[in-house]
Every structure is written in C-alpha cells, then in structure tokens.
C-alpha cells in the first residue's frame, strides 16, 4: 500500500493523505470519510477502485493523524482543505465522493469549487439535517465531553450497521470503534457543531456535474427522505437506494459502492 504523506492547508493545518492506484490516470477520485472516522474508512472501496483509477483518501482536519486546530469548523473550510490537497498532488479536477459528513463536505466542494469537480458521489448524507439540528448535534457534543466517547458507542454502532452485519463482520465494527474512540474530544465537538449548522440547500440548483445520490434503506441517521431531497434538488442526478443497508454503506456493501463510483467516474471522464 502507498505510504502516508502530508501537506499543510492555507492556515497551516497538517493534512495526512494516501494516494492509491494509477497515479497518471485521468480517472481521479477523492474520497471523504464520515464523522469521527479517518482515511481507513474508505480503504475497502479505494483498493477496489485503484485497479484503474487514481484514488485519494485522507484524514479531514480534526480527524485521524491530521491536525486538530480549534474551531469553528465549517463544510466550506473542509472543502477548501480538499482543494488545497488536490493542488498539492497536482490534480486540476476529480470526482469527489463522501459518506455522511464526507458527503456534506463533497457537496460543499461541488458548490465552492465547481471547476475542480468532475462528478459528485453523495452517500448516506444530506444538505441539511433539519431545524432541530443545531440543538441535537450540540447535545451529542456535550454528551461526548461529559461522558467520553465510550458513552456514545452503543448509539453509534447501531446507527452505523445493520444487525446481521454487526454479527458477521465484528472485525470491521471493532475497527470503527477503535478509530472512533481515538478522536480528540474538542475536535469531535467542533465537527458535530459543523454538521448541526450545515445548510447547503441553496447550493443544490447550481450543481451541474454528474451526481449520484446513494442511501441505505435502513439508514436512520441520514434517512432516504434526505437523500430524496438531494436528488430532487440536483438536476439530472441519479438516485440509488440500497436494500438492507444502514448508514455506513461503503463498509457494509463495498462492492456495490465501488460499482456505483466506477459508473460515476466513467460518466465524468466520458
């Protein structure tokens, strides 16, 4: 596997990343992980895509081995971090796909860096978590600070994965737990606040690149109704509902997500 590398953002924050696959390929895709995960979240899909594409995975600010500066955090800030990273590796444009938080960042990237966006993959995500989101996400941040991240594990695991998957893939579940528990509490809280205040609904009509919206039919963290709103708001987008899948579909059904992203990359580079 390719070595980890690092760069610095405009404000000096360290961003750790890994490039997989064919470095000179015109088929380029950047993958953005979900809340409290890191770049390893995407490795099952990235390794499948790497056979005929150049694949970028990285730790968002506040996550993994990247820097954890004080907030506030915003999805446009996270999108700017990705734009800086793409400049570092010499990518003028790419397909950008993300899951959950990563989908919010990908959508922000498509809105603010349209010329660098070949296509968008919006997975298990939303443009807006609703009117109660600031309060709900702040409560989650405060619970983590009061009880530690261990206090959120049961809540998280049942949202992440369906019952059968948790029983049959305990190694995947445990890896996610380990990554989750390693998070910096302050950075986690700032990212929760970012998601609580995120509202990209106004950006949807301006998205013109090929876009695929994907969601599991059992997802109750970012349920199908939120994905349907994305699909309705982005003209000519494609909507994919995956049966018997919950919130982290890139880990639950990596083959299916890989196939959808391959199709998306092909549409971007046709």
Torsional sign, CA 66, 72, 73, 77: negative
Q: Is residue 136 part of a domain?
A: no
Is 147's pLDDT higher than 90? yes
Q: Is residue 190 part of a domain?
A: no
Q: How far is the CA of 82 from the CAs of 14, 96, 97, 203, in angstroms?
A: 12, 10, 12, 18
DSSP the chain: -PPPEEEE-TT--EEEEEEEE-TT-S-EEEEEPPTT--GGGGHHHHHHHTTSSEEEEEPPTTSTTS----S---HHHHHHHHHHHHHHHT-S-EEEEEETHHHHHHHHHHHH-GGGEEEEEEES--SB--TTHHHHHHHHHHHHHHH-GGGGHHHHHHHHS-HHHHHH-HHHHHHHHHHHHTS-HHHHHHHHHHHHH-B-GGGGGG--S-EEEEEETT--SS-HHHHHHHHHHSTT-EEEEETT--S-HHHHSHHHHHHHHHHHHHHHH-
DSSP 121-168: EEES--SB--TTHHHHHHHHHHHHHHH-GGGGHHHHHHHHS-HHHHHH
- Average pLDDT of the chain to the nearest whole number: 97
Residues 6+ apart with CB under 8 A from 60: 15, 32, 33, 66, 78, 81, 101, 102, 105
Is 243's pLDDT higher than 70? yes
Is 128's pLDDT higher than 90? yes
Is 59's pLDDT higher than 90? yes
Is 37's pLDDT higher than 80? yes
Lowest mean pLDDT among 130-134, 149-153, 266-270: 266-270
Distance CA 109, CA 111 (A): 5
Banded model confidence at residue 218, pLDDT cuts 50, 70, 90: very high
Q: Is residue 108 part of a domain?
A: yes
Residues 6+ apart with CB under 8 A from 3: 18
Q: pLDDT per residue over 78-95, tens digit each?
A: 999 999 999 999 999 999
* Predicted pLDDT of residue 1: 67
The number of folded domains in the chain is 1
Q: What's the whole-number mean pLDDT along residues 1-21?
A: 94
* Predicted pLDDT of residue 180: 98
Q: Is residue 161 part of a domain?
A: no
Q: Is residue 192 part of a domain?
A: no
Q: Is residue 225 part of a domain?
A: yes
| pTM for the structure as a whole | 0.98
Distance CA 34, CA 38 (A): 8
* Predicted pLDDT of residue 2: 75
Q: Is residue 180 part of a domain?
A: no
Q: Is residue 246 part of a domain?
A: yes
Domain assignment of residue 220, given as a range: 5-127+200-269
Partners of 7 in beta bridges: 15
* Predicted pLDDT of residue 4: 96
Is 163's pLDDT higher than 70? yes
Query: Residue 258 sits in a domain of what CATH number?
Result: 3.40.50.1820
Tokens of 69: 């500066």
Using a pLDDT cut of 70, give the percent of the chain over it: 100
């Amino acid at each position: 596997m390719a070595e980890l590398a690092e760069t610095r953002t405009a404000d000096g924050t360290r961003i750790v990343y890994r490039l997989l696959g064919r470095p000179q390929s015109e088929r380029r895709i950047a993958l953005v992980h979900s809340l409290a995960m890191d770049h390893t979240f995407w490795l099952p899909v990235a390794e499948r895509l790497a056979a005929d594409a150049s694949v970028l995975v990285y730790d968002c600010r506040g996550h993994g081995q990247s820097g954890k500066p004080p907030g506030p955090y915003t999805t446009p800030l996270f999108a700017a971090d990705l734009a800086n990273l793409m400049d570092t590796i010499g990518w003028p444009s790419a397909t950008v796909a993300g899951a959950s938080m990563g989908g919010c960042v990908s959508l922000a990237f498509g809105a603010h860096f349209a010329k660098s966006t070949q296509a968008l993959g919006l997975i298990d995500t939303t443009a807006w978590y609703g009117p109660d989101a600031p309060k709900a996400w702040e409560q989650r941040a405060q619970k983590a600070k009061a009880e530690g991240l261990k206090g959120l594990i049961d809540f998280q695991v049942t949202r992440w994965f369906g019952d059968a998957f948790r029983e049959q893939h305990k190694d995947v579940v445990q890896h996610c737990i380990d990554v989750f528990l390693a998070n910096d509490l302050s950075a986690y809280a700032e990212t929760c606040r970012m998601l609580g205040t995120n509202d990209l609904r106004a950006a949807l009509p301006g998205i013109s690149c090929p876009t695929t919206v994907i969601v599991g039919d059992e997802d109750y963290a970012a349920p199908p109704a939120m994905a349907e709103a994305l699909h309705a708001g982005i003209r000519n987008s494609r909507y994919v509902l995956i049966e018997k899948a919950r919130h982290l579909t890139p880990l639950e059904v990596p083959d299916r997500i890989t196939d959808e992203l391959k199709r998306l990359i092909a549409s971007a580079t046709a």
